[in-house]
Amino acid sequence: MKKRLTLQDKAVIALKEAVKKVVKQAKKDKQPLAVWKNGKVIQIKPWKKGK
């Protein structure tokens, strides 16, 4: 029998899928992503390997 997902579980799944789509599109368009790191907002280039 399949376990029913809670609303929270569904929200987490939806957010993870949304992030994957955004990263994929940013790589395609070579657009930087704004992320929070060490208390600061920075831009990362997802099409480059590394940090």
- Per-residue pLDDT reduced to its tens digit, 5-41: 999 999 999 999 999 999 999 999 999 999 999 999 9
Angle 18-40-14 from CA coordinates, rounded to 5°:
15
Instruction: Reduce the DSSP state of residue 36 to 3 states and report it.
Output: strand
DSSP conformational letter for 5: P
Element (H, E) at 33: strand 33-37
**Listed residue (7, 6, 49) closest to 27, CA to CA:** 49
> Exposed (0-12), middle (13-18) or buried (19+): which is 27, by Cβ within 10 Å?
middle
Structure confidence at residue 51 as a pLDDT band (50, 70, 90): low
Q: pLDDT value at position 29? A: 95
- Model confidence pTM above 0.75: no
Q: Does the pLDDT value for residue 45 go beyond 60?
A: yes
